[in-house]
Amino acid sequence: MFNDHFKQVWKIVRRLPGWMPRDDAAFLFDAAMAAERLEGVIVEIGSYKGRSACIMAFGGTSEIYCVDPWQDLGTGFPLSVHDFWNTVNRFDFKARIHALQGRSADVRPTFDKPIKLLFIDGNHTYEDVKRDYELWEPLVVHGGWILFHDYSVEWPDVKKFVDEFSDIQPVVHGCVAGFQKGSTHARQ
């Protein structure tokens, strides 16, 4: 069941451009709320038009760093950082949502902030999901969340990677799967 706060948020964000169904959005929103008790920032790998960044912003007051090349890398999806900012600027989030334009592997060497919530939703090949995880996971604080979007049979490489590194079933809601760093859900 969705809490009243999320129901109000969903009435707003469901009309935003992007792909984030209600069940996925609820998990992401709840994770952002839960992460508020931790030190660090939120990092999103793959931001498209900013819908999921806004969902996380509604879930708390944390700084959110969105990593995306905002260009078509052979996916067929037209991307523009201007589309991202058009979404974010509908709300009062510009001071705490930051766009880091570039590929995840290129941005990571310049980023050193502790992460309390890592949301991986970039390219969905096995190699890219693994690379994003291996590059960014070392910055996730103990007790921080690591979430993967599109954990489903429609995106078998995402599901395969998550299933391979987990000892038991991850926490799954909709097509978002995740672990808390340091929990018994993920290998250390």
Q: What is the CATH number of the domain that holds 26?
A: 3.40.50.150
Decide if 17 is inside a domain: no
120 pLDDT tier (thresholds 50, 70, 90)? very high
| Whether the predicted pLDDT of 1 surpasses 80 | no
Overall number of domains in the chain: 1
Query: What's this model's pTM, rounded to 2 decimal places?
Result: 0.92
Per-residue pLDDT reduced to its tens digit, 43-60? 999 998 999 999 999 999
Residue 186 tokens, joined: 């993920």
Decide if 186 is inside a domain: no
Decide if 176 is inside a domain: yes
Residues 93-122: b if buried by 16+ CB within 10 A, e if exposed: beebbebbeebbeebbeebeeebbbbbbbb
Classify residue 153 by burial, with Cβ atoms within 10 Å: 0-12, 13-18, 19+.
exposed
| Whether the predicted pLDDT of 184 surpasses 70 | no
pLDDT > 90 fraction of the chain, expressed in percent and rounded: 63
Mean pLDDT within 27-51: 95
Decide if 188 is inside a domain: no
Which domain does 120 fall in, by range?
Answer: 4-9+22-180
Per-residue pLDDT reduced to its tens digit, 130-150? 999 999 999 999 999 999 998
Decide if 169 is inside a domain: yes
